[in-house]
Structure 1
Amino acid sequence: MADDGSKQGSTWPLPKFYFTVNLGSQDKTVSFQEVSGLDTETQPIEYRHGDNKVFSTIKMPGIVKTGNVTLKKGIFVNDNNFWKWYDAIKMNTIKRETVVIQLLDESAKPTMTWTLSNAWPTKITGTDMKSDANEVAVETLELAHEGLTIANGG
């Protein structure tokens, strides 16, 4: 009898092609082609006591730094929501949102959740256009945020 993989349980890595993105107070799940930039880094602080007998520094965790998250999606007719959000940037008055990105299993249940706090659009890139192309028009939205939390499940 062939093994269908159901006995494997949690030994298989998660596929990354089934995910949702919720853009905060708009309470709207938007379909994206690609999400990247879900990274965080702690900058080290080097310190050495003046009377330390070891002639080297010790390293301690310092400020946490997160990169911008990039979202790519197809362009649809009369869909200007990202441009409206971006146009709201006026001298430090921007509508900040909590963005929730969830990786789903085959039954559409979340297996991992990334939450971006106080996210706002820092860059929008429209599509390139070529007369001989056979591709979908894709726009890119880059979000700056003030923190990334990761949780298992929903």
Structure 2
Amino acid sequence: MTDNIFATTPFFKLAIGGNDLGTFQTCSGLGAEVEIETYAEGGNNSFDWQLPGRVTWSNITLTRPVTRETAKIARWFDQIVQHVEPKDGEIVALKPDLTPIISWQVHGIVPVRWQGPSFDPGSSEAAVETLEIAHEGLKVF
């Protein structure tokens, strides 16, 4: 029997520098881009050389409703802004029953932005927090 990936809603567990920061509902920005330098060689009119250059990594953004785990982010962010030092971490995609689907080792994480919740008693939507991190690269495990 194969897993039906469309029948599950994954969660994403985040740990940075040994700090378990809890689970998130969404994770976006897992990606990279290779800069390409085009070189036109003299006498060769049929194509241009496409030479790979620097790799740039997208910032990763994670969001979740406000829960007791929000305090974990607040404490971690308070510590890290005192002395920003890149730390390695891990993002694990989890099935609803919390079994791992896939994980990414993320290198050199630094926080870019934490957006706390906006509370509106007139709205029925959950208060959401967002964490954006920059990094130096990732590997799939």
**Pairing 1:32-111 to 2, within 5 Å after superposition:** 32-49=24-41, 51-54=42-45, 56-76=47-67, 79-87=70-78, 88-89=80-81, 93-104=83-94, 108-111=98-101
Q: Secondary structure at the match of 1:53?
A: coil
Q: Which residue pairs with 2:109 in the alignment?
A: 119
Kindly indicate whether the alpha-carbon contact (under 8 Å) linking 1:121 and 1:143 is maintained by their aligned counterparts in 2.
yes
> Comparing both structures, which one devotes a greater share of its residues to strand?
2
Normalised TM-score (structure 1):
0.73
Query: Alignment length, in residue pairs?
Result: 140
How has the CA–CA distance of structure 1 residues 15 and 95 changed in structure 2, closer, same or farther, with 3 Å as cutoff? Answer: farther
Contact 1:23 1:99 in 2 (8 A): yes
Matching residue of 2:137: 147
Checking the alignment, whether the CA contact within 8 Å between 2:12 and 2:26 is kept in structure 1 is no
> After the TM superposition, which of the residue ranges 133-142 and 24-33 deviates more from structure 2?
24-33
Whole-angstrom distance in 2 between the partners of 1:110 and 1:127: 28
Confirm or deny: 8 A CA contact 2:28 2:60 kept in the other structure: yes
Inter-partner Cα distance in structure 2 for 1:24 and 1:107:
23
Which of 1 and 2 has greater Rg? 1
Residues 16 and 120 of structure 1, relative CA distance in 2, 3 Å threshold: farther
Amino acid in the other structure paired with 2:23: S
Q: Distance in 2 between matches of 1:71 and 1:78?
A: 13
SS in 2 for 1:52: coil
Tell me how far apart the structure 2 counterparts of residues 134 and 142 of structure 1 sit (CA, whole Å).
25
What is residue 24 of structure 1 aligned with on the other side? 16
Query: Hey, what's the Cα distance between the residues in 1 that align with 2:8 and 2:108?
Result: 25
- In structure 2, do the counterparts of structure 1 residues 128 and 95 end up closer, same or farther at CA, with 3 Å as the change threshold? same
